[in-house]
Amino acid sequence: MKSVKSNYNKYPEIEIPGHSGFSGWEAIAGEIKKNIPGTSGTKTIIVLECYHGTMNHVLVRELQNQLPAVCFIDAESAMLKESVLNDKFAPYITDDPVFGYITPLSVRSFYDDAKLATLKDEVAQRTEGIICIYGTGASLVVPAPDVVIYADMPRWEIQLRFRRNETGNLGVHNEDDPFARLYKRSFFVDWRVCDRLKKEILPVADYVLDTTHAKDPKMVTGKVLQDALYQTVQRPFRVVPFFDPGPWGGQWLKEVCDLDRSAPNYAWAFDCVPEENSLLLHFGNLVFETPAINAVFFQPDALLGKPVREIFGEEFPIRFDFLDTIDGGNLSLQVHPLKSYIQEQFGMSYTQDESYYMMEAKPGAMVYLGLKEGVDPDAMMAALEQAQKTGVSFDADKYVEKWPVKKHDHVLIPAGTVHCSGVNGVVLEISATPYIFTFKLWDWGRMGLDGKPRPISLQHGKNNIQWNRVTGWTRENILNRAEKIAEGEGWIEERTGLHENFFIETRRHWFYDKVMHHTGGVVNVINLVEGREVVVESPDDLFAPFVVHYAETFIVPAGVGAYTIRPYGESKGRRCATLKAFINEQNLLHCKNA
């Protein structure tokens, strides 16, 4: 791999003119004081509502240092006992080591009626002074306080806190549990509950706290944040990427994205997963970090487009990430659930159809995709079960077809298809958003980063493998189906793959000059797959020119409409290529009715 100095921007900021905020606990406390009457005999109630993962004890300690006259009351002290919560949420957490069921419950389900009533009485009986009720569910204690402060937290940071044993799940003290267990409970219970509460509280919050970096807190008013989200979706933007190692990880991301060269590997780069990524909002005097999902929750029509919102609600349905196996190992052999299965078993409304776009491929790179002709399902499952029980190697080459791949190949992977990327490739994975529902069939006999075997899901896999997807079917239906559909002076547009089961369509543009694009009223997600840098512009100057570098993923909101992309800077006069994904409405309706 030829080494070229990275120009990848790991911390993309979104300029938000006309606003400012507060940085540091002294400034934050000073602003809060402005809402507190100076006269004696008065009573002021502050609700400090917290997303899961916020380290409440640190937050309160710092505020107490600055606001000693305030009485702080922990709302979470009124929660049910841990044993009761564990029993209550057991049907959603389940005994499966990886998968659960999306809970429909709210934060109210965490609270003990009697304890909550006592806490309400305690607050009501205080006739004067400053009272701050804090924690997840604090708004249940006093629904109409004088001041509402919302402390938010992005999921990527919560995961880092899990790994550092700094926080556990909501309502329980289980910080020492394995990461996988903490993540699973959060995915199926905690984050669902907190997101439902956030949709109610954040729009009416007087202030919003960013304590992602605990020693450098930031605060803006709720109105400022809402305006910032509005401004964000008027133009192309990027989320903050998140990088992670893995047992099969490679070395490509280190160079291309300028990551820590001393790290053993990087397996994943999550470059467009709004549920877990952040936005960096630059307010002039500070940079404020907020979960990217907030733009989906509070600007859904402008961001997603009404046709997408009508089907998916306030969810971002397209996911871009990188899988790096350069000088690494094979991914696990796996399969994703069919739509009916993911609905019935896990409470998800749609499944993870996906595709592999090859960003890089060394000589000999390949993918496992589909089954070989004449495979006996019983024999294959028996071999997998034997490998799982005894540790004897599973002969994947006997049952699963291997296909050589090269840079810029695009492989489709509809749910139910056995697959995995092999060693020495870099995959730009483009998929529907239900991103944890991977049924591992075989992990090549290796251990996870924790030194323990990674969970294998043979029964789930058996229930979803489509045994008719064999060599001939794979070659005909899902392997490199690129076709030219349009061209003009200095550009060519190709459809790189669309299967009847996919609602995501992809288009690749090769270009030396300016290319016209239009969102078509639905959100576009784009990656620069060839070229050092390009610039995205509005034909009507509706947004400032937006520069994108190699391998960066960016989002073009549905409401943007027309936009252009052209080579820029080091790429002027050179061939560039973008890969664009969007929701195909015709196929979306087909999938909905399937």
Domain-located, residue 448: yes
Per the CB < 8 A criterion, the answer to whether 231 and 268 are in contact is no
Q: What is the CATH number of the domain that holds 587?
A: 2.60.120.10
What pLDDT is stored for residue 534 in this prediction?
A: 98
- Confidence tier at 453 by pLDDT (50, 70, 90): confident
Q: What is the mean pLDDT of residues 496-522?
A: 89
What pLDDT is stored for residue 500 in this prediction?
A: 67
Domains held by the chain: number: 3
Domain-located, residue 557: yes
Edge-first strand order for the sheet with 515-518 is 515-518, 562-567, 533-537, 546-549
Question: Left (φ > 0), alpha (ψ -120 to 50) or beta: where does 536 sit?
Answer: beta
Are 444 and 563 found together in one domain?
A: no
What pLDDT is stored for residue 349 in this prediction?
A: 77
Are 248 and 339 found together in one domain?
A: yes
Are 226 and 275 found together in one domain?
A: no
Token match 């419950």: residue?
105
What pLDDT is stored for residue 1 in this prediction?
A: 47
- Confidence tier at 2 by pLDDT (50, 70, 90): low
Domain limit, last residue, from 477, 507, 534: 477
Domain-located, residue 357: yes
Domain-located, residue 8: no
Q: Write the pLDDT tens digit of every residue in 329-360.
A: 999 999 999 889 988 998 887 778 889 999 99
Domain-located, residue 164: yes
Q: What is the mean pLDDT of residues 493-511?
A: 86
Are 497 and 467 found together in one domain?
A: no
Are 287 and 198 found together in one domain?
A: no
Q: What is the mean pLDDT of residues 238-251?
A: 95
Are 294 and 432 found together in one domain?
A: yes
Domain limit, last residue, from 232, 260, 282: 232
C-alpha triplet 139, 145, 148: angle, nearest 5°:
70
Residues near 347 by beta carbon (within 8 Å), at least 6 away in sequence: 101, 102, 104
| Whether the predicted pLDDT of 127 surpasses 90 | no
Q: Write the pLDDT tens digit of every residue in 145-196.
A: 999 999 999 999 999 999 999 999 999 999 999 999 999 999 999 999 999 9
- Confidence tier at 81 by pLDDT (50, 70, 90): very high
Give the single-character DSSP code of 261: T
- Confidence tier at 6 by pLDDT (50, 70, 90): very high
| Whether the predicted pLDDT of 99 surpasses 50 | yes
Measure the CA–CA gap between 415 and 42, rounded to whole angstroms: 61
DSSP calls for 303-329: HH-HHHHHHH-S---EEEEEEE-TTS-
Per the CB < 8 A criterion, the answer to whether 381 and 400 are in contact is no
- Confidence tier at 291 by pLDDT (50, 70, 90): very high
Are 405 and 493 found together in one domain?
A: no
Q: Which amino acid is at 487?
A: E
What pLDDT is stored for residue 131 in this prediction?
A: 95
Domain limit, last residue, from 450, 477, 504: 477
What pLDDT is stored for residue 391 in this prediction?
A: 84
313: how many CB neighbours lie within 10 A of its CB?
12
Q: What is the CATH number of the domain that holds 174?
A: 3.40.50.300
Domain-located, residue 137: yes
Token match 């196996």: residue?
325
Domain-located, residue 418: yes
Are 355 and 441 found together in one domain?
A: yes
Are 399 and 456 found together in one domain?
A: yes
Which has more confidence, 591 or 219?
219
Give the single-character DSSP code of 215: T
- Confidence tier at 571 by pLDDT (50, 70, 90): very high
What pLDDT is stored for residue 482 in this prediction?
A: 87
Measure the CA–CA gap between 283 and 279, rounded to whole angstroms: 12
Are 198 and 291 found together in one domain?
A: no
The residue segments making up the domain with residue 389 are 244-477
Are 165 and 132 found together in one domain?
A: yes
| Whether the predicted pLDDT of 141 surpasses 70 | yes
What pLDDT is stored for residue 151 in this prediction?
A: 98
Q: Is 450 exposed, middle or buried (0-12, 13-18, 19+ CB in 10 A)?
A: exposed
What pLDDT is stored for residue 592 in this prediction?
A: 53
What pLDDT is stored for residue 36 in this prediction?
A: 84
What pLDDT is stored for residue 114 in this prediction?
A: 97
Domain-located, residue 587: yes
Per the CB < 8 A criterion, the answer to whether 328 and 251 are in contact is yes
Are 496 and 473 found together in one domain?
A: no
Q: What is the mean pLDDT of residues 28-41?
A: 83
Mean pLDDT, rounded, of the chain: 93
Tell me the pairing of strands 218-221 and 287-291: unpaired
Q: Does the predicted TM-score (pTM) go above 0.85?
A: yes
Token match 């239009």: residue?
518
